[in-house]
Structure 1
Amino acid sequence: MSKNTSGPLAGIKVLELGTLIAGPFCARMLAEFGAEVIKVESPDGGDPIRKWRVLKDGTSLWWSVQSRNKKSLTLNMKHPQGREIARKLALEADIIIENYRPGVLEKWELGYEQLKALDPSIIMVRLSGFGQTGPMKDLPGFGAIGESMGGLRYVSGHADRPPVRVGVSIGDSVAALHGVIGAMMALRHRDATGGKLKGEGQMVDVALYESVFNLMESLVPEFDHAGVVRERTGGSLPGIVPSNTYTTSDGENIVIAGNGDAIFKRLALAMGRIDMAGDAELERNDGRVRHTQMIDDAIQAWCDTQTIDSALAVLKAADVPAGKIYSVRDMMTDPQFLAREMFEQHQFADGTPVKLPAISPKLSATPGHTKWLGPTLGQHNDEVLQSLGYTAAAIAAMKQDGVL
C-alpha cells in the first residue's frame, strides 16, 4: 500500500489559541498528521516557549518541534480588530484549541457558547488546570500542579524522601493527549451528525489534574474498598513483584520486569537460583509480594556480578523483559530507534543540520510528516490574512496600527 503523506487530517482547519505546552502540544499532533494549524501569537515576543531551555540564535530548539507544521499569525488580542480576525478564523475552523484561564475567551467574545451561537458545528478543545467548572476553575493551574493534585507526584520517589517530579512536563503532555483524543471523538460525532455544515459540535473540557488522575490505575478502588493509600516505592512497582530498578557492576541502571509467573521462574533459573525457581511460595504474584525484599536483594546480588551488557544478554536468552535506562545519548545510537526511524534530519534556515524526534504513532497508510520546523514569529501573517480577504494595503495598515 502506498503512503499518503498529506496525512489523515488533511482538510481539517485548526485554530490554536494557546501558549507553552498543553494547548500547543495538542495542536502540534494535529498538525503532524495533516491538519492546517494556525497558531495565534502575541506580536510582543510570541509564545514564551520560544525562549525556553536551549536556544539557537535566540529561539528555543524545543520550538522547532513543538510548532512544526504550524502557521504563525501575530494578533494583538487587546485590539478590537485583532479579536475580529480571531473570530473570523474561529468560525472557519473545524477545531479550536485554547488553554487560557476560563473566562478569558468569553471576555473577548470568543467563548464556546458565543461561537456556538454563530456556528453549532464548532468544536472547541479547552485545556486548563482545573476545568471549566468547579470552585478552582479560575485559579492558575500549571502541569506541576496537575501532577500534584492528580496523584502522580504523591507516588513518585522514595518513601523516606519528599515526592519528586518526572523530568519532563508530563502533566501538560498528558492533558494534550486527552485533548487530541477528545477532538477526534468530537470530530467523529460531528461527521456522523451532518459534518461541518450541519453536524453537532461540542466542547472538549480537559483539566490537567483530571488527565493525570486518569492515569492512576487502581488508586481509587484500592482506597475505597480496602483503605489502601498507594505510597512512594522508589524504582519498584508496588504489588507487582519483581519489577524494579537494579544496578550492574559497571554502574549502569537496569529495569528487570520478571513479574509474570512463568517469567519469574525463567529469571530465577537464569540467575542460578534453582531454589527460588522451585519455591511454591514464589510461584504466584501474591506469594512473591510477601517476599519482595528477599527477591529484590537476590536480583541485586546477581546484578552485582554482571555488567549491563552481560546482564542484558543473559536475560534476553532467558526471555525475561529487561532494559537499560537510556539517556538521549543512548537513544541516538540504539539499533531499535534507528530501525524504527525515530529521528528525522532537518535544517534550520541558515543550513545548520538538526535532528528532530520522528512522529508517533506510526500509521501504515497515512503517516505523519514534518513539512517545516517551528515558524518565525508572524511568518504566515500575509498568507493567513489574505485568505480571509484582506488586501496588502489593509495588512500594512494593521501592522501600522499595532494589530499584528
Structure 2
Amino acid sequence: MTSDRATRAGRPLHGVRVLELSSYVATPLCGLTLAQLGADVIRVEAPGGAPDRTRLPTTDDGCSYYWTGLNKGKRAIAVDLSTHEGQEVVADLADDADIVIANGPYKGLVTAEALRARNPRLVHVRLSGTWDGGASVDYLAQAKVGFQHVTGPRGHAAPVNHVLPAWDIAAGLYLATGVLAALRERDGTGVGTSITLALEDVAFATAGNLGLLTQAQLDPTPRGPDGNYVYGTYGRDFALADGHRIMLVVLTARHWHALLEVTGLRAAVAGLEEALQIDLDDEQVRYAHRDVISALLEPWFARHDLAGLAEILAGRKVLWSVYRTVEEAAGQLGDNPLFAELDQPGIGTHLAPGSPLVFDARRPAPLPAPSVGEHTHEVLADRLGADRYTKLLKSRVVDSADNPLRETA
C-alpha cells in the first residue's frame, strides 16, 4: 500500500482490492462504502450487465438512478461465471484480492472455500436471506419481524410497509463493519476469514436490540400502530397555518421547558399537572398523556406559518423540522459539503453524495458508476495475456464496453 498522504487523504482503504459479485442493495452498499473509503472495488457482472442495472427509478433512456447511486466509484468487468473459463478468470483475480463480496450461491471455482484455499489471506463475505441459507429480500424480512404492525394510523389493522429498505441498508453496513474487523484481524494473523450474514438476522437482531422482541415475550399487551407519535417519548406532527406540516420531538425536560416557554403554555400545563396529579417533566408521563398535550399544542401551531415559526424557534432548544418532499429536499443540497457535482454518463450532471465519514476534515468527491464492462480491458488484458484475453473476448466469456471481437450467431 502507498504511504503517500496526499493520495490517501480521506481514503484509509487505499490499496485494498475488492471483488464484488453482487446485485440489488445490501452487498452493493457494502462495496460502495468500501470504495468511498478508498478501496479499489471491481464489480464483476455477466456480459450484458447485472439484472438490477435497469431497476426503477430510471431515466427515459432506461439508465437507473438507483443503480448508478449504489455503484459510484467502482470499476466494472463483465465475466460469465456460469462457465468454467469465467470462473477461472475471477479465481485468478481473487488470488491478489483482499476481499470478495458475494450475495449469490456461487459454485465451482468461486465458492468461498475454493477462493480461500487459493488465497488464505482473502476476506470473503457472503450475504444470504435467512440464517439457514434460504432466500429472502428486504420486504420479506420486514414482514417477518413485526415492525409493519406497529406502523401506520392508530387503530389500523393491516400492516403498513415502509418504503425505506432498512434491513438492506443495515446489512450492507454490517458487512462493511465485518470486513474492517477481518482486515484488522488479518493484520495480526496474516490469515483471512469467511464472514456470513443473513438479511433476516439483521432485522431480528435490530428488533431484539431495541427491546421489541423482549417486550413481546414478557409483556402480554400487544403494541399497535400509533400514527405519527414517537413511541416512548413525546413527538408528533403538527399542521401550520400555511399548509406545511412539521415534526416535533421532545426528548428531555430541557426540550419540554423550552417548548412551554415559546408556546406560552407553561401556566396551562401547570394546571393540567395539578388537576391530574402528574409531573410532565417525566418522559414516560409525557408519552402516556400525549393526546392531552397535543390538544394544547395543536391550536398554537395552527396559528403560525412556516416562516413565522422558524423565526420564533430560532436559537431555542426545541427539536423540530418541516416535512419536505423528496423534490424539496433535492433543492436544498447545495450548501451541504457531503454533495459534489458529478457527471454520470447516462444520467447527466447532478449533485451526488460522497461518504458521510470525514477524515481529518477531508471528504473525497464522488466518482461516476461504471458502464457494463467499462474496465474489463484495463483489469484483465495484461493479467490474462493477449492470446487468452482475445479468445475469451471472442467467446464472450468476458466482455468489454468496446469489444469488437464478439462471436456472432
TM-score range (shorter-chain normalised) is: 0.7 to 0.9
Contact 2:13 2:34 in 1 (8 A): yes
1:271 aligns to what? 263
One of 225, 232, 252 as aligned partner of 1:232 = 225
Give the match's secondary structure for 2:187. helix
Offset of residue 355 of structure 1: 2.2
Secondary structure in 1 matching 2:242: coil
Could you tell me which of 49, 52, 61 is aligned with 2:53? 49
- 1:289-328 deviation per Cα after TM superposition (whole angstroms, max 9, x unaligned): 3312101222222211111222233233432111112223
CA distance 1:354–1:298, change in 2 (3 Å): same
Deviations 1:149-194 (CA, angstroms, capped at 9, x unpaired): 233323322233322222232221121111111111111111122x
Where 2:251 maps in the other structure, the secondary structure is: coil
| Partner Cα distance (1:352, 1:38) in 2 | 23
Partner of 1:72: 76
Aligned to 1:23: 27
Say yes or no: does 1:374 pair with 2:369: yes
- Percent identity, aligned pairs only, is 24
Deviation per CA, 1:190-219: give whole Å up to 9, x if none.
1122xxxxx232222222122233333121
* Counterpart position of 2:128: 128
In structure 2, the partner of 1:355 is 351
Please give the alpha-carbon distance, in whole angstroms, between the structure 2 residues aligned to 1:171 and 1:281.
38
**What is the number of equivalent residue pairs in this alignment?**
385
Contact 2:168 2:199 (8 Å CA) reproduced = yes
8 Å CA contact 1:146, 1:209 repeated in 2: yes
Give the AA of the match of 2:389: I
Q: TM-score, length-normalised on structure 2?
A: 0.86
Q: Say whether the 8 Å CA contact 1:150–1:211 is kept in structure 2.
A: no
User: Who is 1:157 aligned against?
Assistant: 152
TM superposition shift of 1:253: 1.8
Structure 1 gaps, min length 5: 194-198
Structure-1 residue corresponding to 2:168: 172
Deviation at 1:248, TM superposition (A): 1.4
Correspondence 1:138-287 to 2 at 5 A: 138=134, 140-161=135-156, 162-193=158-189, 199-216=190-207, 217-240=210-233, 242-278=234-270, 279=273, 281-287=279-285
C-alpha deviations, 1:18-59, integer Å up to 9, x for none?
Answer: 111111111011112211111111113334233431225332
Match 1:291 to one of 259, 281, 289:
289
* Structure 2 equivalent of residue 59 of structure 1: 63
CA distance in 1, matches of 2:232, 2:291: 12
Instruction: Give a deviation string over 1:352-385, Cα, whole Å, max 9, x none.
Output: 4222123212222553442x31111101111111
Q: Match of 1:221, as an amino acid?
A: T
Q: Which residue of 1 aligns with 2:336?
A: 340
Instruction: Provide the C-alpha distance between the structure 1 equivalents of 2:194 and 2:123, rounded to a whole number of angstroms.
Output: 6
Q: Secondary structure at the match of 1:214?
A: helix
- Assess, with a 3 A threshold, how the Cα gap between structure 1 residues 205 and 376 changes in structure 2: closer, same or farther: same
CA distance in 1, matches of 2:180, 2:112: 18
Return the alpha-carbon distance in structure 1 between the equivalents of residues 17 and 313 of structure 2: 49
Change (3 A) 1:51 1:224: closer
Aligned counterparts of 1:204 and 1:236: Cα–Cα separation in 2? 38
Distance (whole Å) between structure 1 residues aligned to residue 368 and residue 6 of structure 2: 25
1:158 is aligned with what amino acid? P
SS at match of 1:306: coil
- Indicate if the aligned counterparts of 2:94 and 2:119 stay in contact, CA closer than 8 A: no
What is aligned with 1:196? none
- Tell me, in whole angstroms, the C-alpha distance in 2 between the residues paired with 1:338 and 1:351: 19
**Residue 383 (str. 1) matches residue 374 (str. 2):** no
Q: 2:403: which partner in 1?
A: none
- In 2, the alpha carbon distance for the partners of 1:207 and 1:272 equals 51
Quote the Cα distance in structure 2 between the aligned partners of 1:34 and 1:56: 32
Query: 2:340 touches 2:354 (CA, 8 Å); kept in 1?
Result: yes
- In 2, the alpha carbon distance for the partners of 1:250 and 1:11 equals 54
Equivalent AA in structure 2 for residue 309 of structure 1: A
- The alignment yields a C-alpha RMSD, in angstroms, of 2.4
Conserved 8 A contact 2:36-2:354: no
